Every structure is written in structure tokens, then in C-alpha cells.
Amino acid sequence: MHRPTELNRRLETLKSLLERIHRSWGPADFESLMRFFVDILPRLTQAERCSVFVVDQTTENIWLKFGTGLTEKAIIAPMQGSVVGEAISTGRTVIRDRLEHSSGFHAITDKKTDFTTRNLLCVPIRSLAGDYTIGAVELLNKQDQAGFTPDDESWLRQLVKYLALSIEHNSVTEEIIEITRGMHQEIAWAVDPMGQGRYVAESMAMRRIFTLVQQIGPLPVNVFITGESGSGKEVIARLIHKLPDERRTRPFVAVNCSAIPETLMESEFFGHEKGAFTGASTSRMGRFEEATGGTLFLDEIAEMPLSIQPRFLRAIQEMEGVRLGGNKIHRYHFRLISASSRDLRDEVKAGRFREDLFFRLFSIDIRLPPLRERREEILPLMLLFLEQVSERFKKKPKGFSSELVALFEAYSWPGNVRQLEHEVERLVALTPDGETITVQHCSSHLLEARSSAPTRATSADTLSLPEQRRRLEIDLIQQALQRSHGNKVRAAELLEITRQSLHNKIRQHRIADA
């Protein structure tokens, strides 16, 4: 397994390559090629004009895309009542003469282009990739009075193969460009999703959170983050603080409310003057003053004692307070980000948290999902922590074994991201340099989960965790495609992954479309 730093270099190289692919072919190139056909075909067949129609495979509209003298592209030919519609629907060539006095779509187009159609030859353009029609080419007004002949049809049928190649090449290229854009975005998120350092956001839920963070980062709005212990609440808080804003260069003051004794809570937040109480040998500013100009992060705020909540509420309402033992009013100015592993609404209902303080704490709330709900992030987090821990410990393990990765991805992680990080630290510490990190050095919690896994899978024909995971993934993807009637955007939403991730998994598992 490659070290993450090498992976990042490869991803950046791929990113650059995809950018060049994106720039190599655009709509202007396709239009130039099609105009060449429109210009050359009448000369080769002694016709006055040429029109190229393309079928939108999604809506089945027939668009008059390119034509001699055509200045307005938004022309749709009807499937019924037009020669081109007849050619496309039947897949057969249509030749018509003496049209100058007859009605139909050609007459409508004549008015738009200030032209008179006397005769025409319309040949359907068949797909080179499948048994269906992708468009049609029309030649108008054969200069020979006899009109178009079967020889013209035969000759034109050979030429439209090149039109088909051009049209389908453009469609494929547009799809490639769309995919490469998605891949570029995927890679950018994998390497640096916020432009603020290394963060992992593989799941749809975390990407929604990061998008919200980007929106609120520059705004002076208070935020409340809820999530299980170890799910990364302080990481999100620091990320909000770091986003472009004058606060990013100011202090980020983190306070764990559960770690402060009730008797010291007031002094911790408001500070104290010298001699305010026994042991106060010097004056000390409180957390409110320290955070002025920056961000005050209150972790586990549900643990704040009721006794201090009234004064705390007044302080954040008025943005001012007095140190213990003093009488000078100190002005505060900070963004407040609070967090809790418990639902504050339940605490309010139980009478353990003031309702007025609850509503004053935040305008935006963010729920961090536990790691077990975003398993696609387990491996990226493993790689990130492996890089960080290896550098910190000055060790060079070879990488993770596939068995270990499967075990990590199957484990429930009750301690969430923090537990995962500590497990990686343990494994790096116990693995000799140059050796692969294996299951044998895992903590007892992981080993117990590993030993119990076979009893839960005894009904399966294989006990292989990777194989069971692969089967489950295929089954879930197929269910999502069935529920969404083949709509991959909707299926990706149901699976809570990106459309590009779904596309990659469908290709990886060779799953047929629903």
C-alpha cells in the first residue's frame, strides 16, 4: 500500500491531467466540425443546402442543430408531420419532390430561413454503438432538375457514418468531461476538501456539513454542534474558525465544560482579580476575555451547572462581564460555538438546562453523524492518521493489510473518529518499520469483534469479510437503483454518496442498470 503522501502526489498529477482533458475538446470544436459537414456535403452532391438534426436521447426531441444559412438553433422538428421525423422514426431514407407548394415542417423552416424547398433527400443517422437513430441529415434542392436519386442516397449513407462518429464522439466527450469534472471534485475533496488542511469528506452527509460550514464560516453567527463523543465536533468548530474571516487570526479558545469543577466555573469564564479568593495571588482574565476577537468553543455545554447559567446567559446577551473580586466591566466580542454529545432539547425538558440560554446559544445547528453511519470515510481516515502518526512517531510502516481494512470497515466504532485515531496510533507504535500493519496488534475491542464476526455470518457460504461487504454493497446499490427507477442522482442520494462514487462502484462491481 502506498504512503498517503505518495497518493496525494498521484492525485494531484491526475487532477492536472483531467484539467487538460477538459480543455482539449469543447462545444466550439464540435460546432466547427459539424459546420464543415454542412458546408461540404452540398458541394459534393450538387445540392443547395444541408441540415443536420440531432435527437436528444433523454427527451426524444429532434433538434435542427446545424444548417446552411441557419442562424437560430432553437428549432425542434416534430416526430409526426415532418420528413425528418419520418426518417428518424422509421430508420429509412426519405426522398421528396415538388415540395414548394406543399405544407409541412419544411415550409415552416423555409419561413424561418427565407428559403424555398423544392426537393429533398433525408437519410437517418444510425448510432455506431447501438441499434437506434441519433439524428438525420437533409440535403435540399438538387441542382439537377431530376431531383435526388438512389445513387445520391447510397453515397450519402456512406458519408453519414462519419456524421454519426462525430456526433457520438461529442456525446462521449461531453460525458467524459462531466465525469472528469466529478473526478476532479472528488480528488479535490479527498486531498483538501475545504482548502484549509487535511479533512475527510467522502460521505454525502459530511459533504453537506462542509458545504454548510463554508456558508457560515465568514458570518458572525453562533453555531451549535451535536454528535456522539469522538465524532469530530471540535474539528468542525476549528474549521469554522479557520475559514476566511477576520477571526481566523484571532484566538480559538476551547473549554470543556465537563472538566471544570462547579466551584471554579465562574472564575474560569469571567476571570478574577488578585485576592478575590484564597489562592488568587495574581489577576487572571477569563475565557470570555481570552476569546475576544475570535471564537469561544464550549464543548459538552450540557454539563454546565444550572447555578452559573443565568450569569452566563447575561454575559453572552450583553457581551460584557466583571471579574470575580473586581468592579470593572470588561467588553467581549467573540463568536460562540457550542457542542454536546447529548440533545440539549432533552436537557431543557428535564429541567437541567435553561430554555432561554438554549435559544441564545446558536442560530445554526449541525448534527455530526457517527462514524458507523459514514463507513466510506473509514479508510481515508485510516490513511490520514497513518500519515500523521507515522510522521509524529518518526516511523515508516509499510501500510495496512487488506484484512485489517476489512475489519476496520466492519467495526461499529462506538468511540467514533477519536477511537479510530487511537487505534491507528497503537498499530503504528507496535508495528516495526517497513512491515505491513496487521490485525495481530489490534486492541482487544477490535479482536473481540473479529472473533465474533464468523458467528454472525455462519449462514453465508463464505466467511470472508471483504466478500460479504462486497455483496452487501452490490445489494444496496441494486435496491437504490430499483427504487429510483434507474435515476443515478436519486440512487446516490438514497445511498448518501456522491453520484461519481456511485458511478465508480457500479463500474467496479459491474452492476447492470435497473
CB-CB contact of 424 with 382 (8 Å):
yes
Least confident of 17-26, 130-139, 229-238, 333-342: 17-26
Asked whether residue 3 is assigned to any structural domain, the reply reads: no
pLDDT recorded at residue 455: 39
Residues 166 and 217 in one domain: no
pLDDT recorded at residue 9: 60
Asked whether residue 427 is assigned to any structural domain, the reply reads: yes
Q: What is the DSSP string of 306-326?
A: TTTHHHHHHHHHHTEEE-BT-
- Residue owning grid cell 493489510: 401
Please give the DSSP secondary-structure letter assigned to residue 79.
S
Q: Is the pLDDT of residue 24 over 80?
A: no
Q: Facing residues of 335 across strands?
A: 295
Question: What span, in angstroms and rounded, lies between the C-alpha atoms of 462 and 454?
Answer: 9
Residue with more model confidence, 236 or 401: 236
Nearest to 257 by CA among 323, 318, 346, 339: 339
Domain final position from 339, 369, 399: 369
- Residue owning grid cell 441557419: 70
pLDDT recorded at residue 460: 44
Residues 101 and 142 in one domain: yes
Residues 387 and 313 in one domain: no
Position 30, amino acid: F
* Cβ-proximal residues to 389 (8 Å cutoff; 6+ apart), any chain: 395, 421, 424, 425, 428
Collapsed DSSP state (helix, strand, coil) of residue 256 = strand
What tens digit of pLDDT does each residue of 409-458 get? 889 999 999 999 999 999 999 999 988 888 999 998 898 887 765 433 33
Asked whether residue 190 is assigned to any structural domain, the reply reads: no
Nearest to 493 by CA among 208, 248, 119, 86: 208
Asked whether residue 296 is assigned to any structural domain, the reply reads: yes
pLDDT recorded at residue 242: 85
Cell of 14: 491526475
Domain final position from 160, 175, 190: 175
Nearest to 342 by CA among 290, 398, 303: 303
* Cβ-proximal residues to 445 (8 Å cutoff; 6+ apart), any chain: none
Residues 344 and 485 in one domain: no
CB-CB contact of 390 with 428 (8 Å):
yes
Question: What span, in angstroms and rounded, lies between the C-alpha atoms of 270 and 320?
Answer: 9
Give whole-number Cα distances, 59 to 55, 99, 205, in Å: 8, 29, 32
In the predicted model, what is the mean pLDDT of the chain? 81
CATH of the domain at 96: 3.30.450.40
Residue with more model confidence, 8 or 120: 120
Residue with more model confidence, 182 or 381: 381
Q: Is the pLDDT of residue 15 over 80?
A: no
Residues 39 and 140 in one domain: yes
CA neighbours within 13 Å on the CB side: how many for 350? 10
Residue with more model confidence, 184 or 165: 165
Using DSSP bridges, classify how beta strands 399-400 and 62-67 pair: parallel, antiparallel or unpaired: unpaired
What tens digit of pLDDT does each residue of 257-296 get? 999 998 889 999 999 998 888 888 889 999 999 999 999 9
Per-residue pLDDT, averaged over 195-205, amounts to: 69
Q: Look up the domain containing 456 and give its range.
A: 373-509
Question: What span, in angstroms and rounded, lies between the C-alpha atoms of 289 and 270?
Answer: 8
Question: What span, in angstroms and rounded, lies between the C-alpha atoms of 478 and 473?
Answer: 9
Instruction: Give the chain's radius of gyration (CA, Å).
Output: 33
Question: What span, in angstroms and rounded, lies between the C-alpha atoms of 176 and 229?
Answer: 42
Q: What is the DSSP string of 319-380?
A: TEEE-BT---EEE---EEEEEESS-HHHHHHTTSS-HHHHHHH-SEEEEPPPGGG-GGGHHH
Collapsed DSSP state (helix, strand, coil) of residue 98 = coil
pLDDT recorded at residue 1: 39
Asked whether residue 17 is assigned to any structural domain, the reply reads: no
Domain final position from 343, 369, 395: 369
What tens digit of pLDDT does each residue of 380-415 get? 888 889 988 999 999 988 888 878 888 898 899 999
pLDDT recorded at residue 169: 73
pLDDT recorded at residue 205: 87
pLDDT recorded at residue 288: 94
* Cβ-proximal residues to 436 (8 Å cutoff; 6+ apart), any chain: 1, 397, 398, 399, 400, 401
Residues 364 and 224 in one domain: yes
CATH of the domain at 392: 1.10.8.60
What tens digit of pLDDT does each residue of 47-102 get? 988 888 888 766 677 888 888 876 655 578 888 878 888 998 898 999 988 888 78
Residues 290 and 381 in one domain: no
Most confident of 29-43, 234-248, 330-344: 330-344
What tens digit of pLDDT does each residue of 470-505 get? 777 787 887 788 777 778 888 888 887 877 778 778
Residues 360 and 379 in one domain: no
pLDDT recorded at residue 193: 47
Residue 146 confidence class, pLDDT cut points 50, 70, 90: confident
Asked whether residue 196 is assigned to any structural domain, the reply reads: no
Residues 492 and 453 in one domain: yes
Residues 397 and 351 in one domain: no
Asked whether residue 188 is assigned to any structural domain, the reply reads: no
What tens digit of pLDDT does each residue of 303-355 get? 999 999 999 999 999 999 999 999 999 999 999 999 999 999 999 999 999 99
pLDDT recorded at residue 184: 46
- Give the predicted TM-score (pTM) of the model: 0.54
pLDDT recorded at residue 60: 72
pLDDT recorded at residue 191: 45
Question: What span, in angstroms and rounded, lies between the C-alpha atoms of 272 and 280?
Answer: 8
Asked whether residue 36 is assigned to any structural domain, the reply reads: yes
Residues 32 and 74 in one domain: yes
Residues 270 and 363 in one domain: yes
Residue 362 confidence class, pLDDT cut points 50, 70, 90: confident
Q: How many domains in the chain?
A: 3
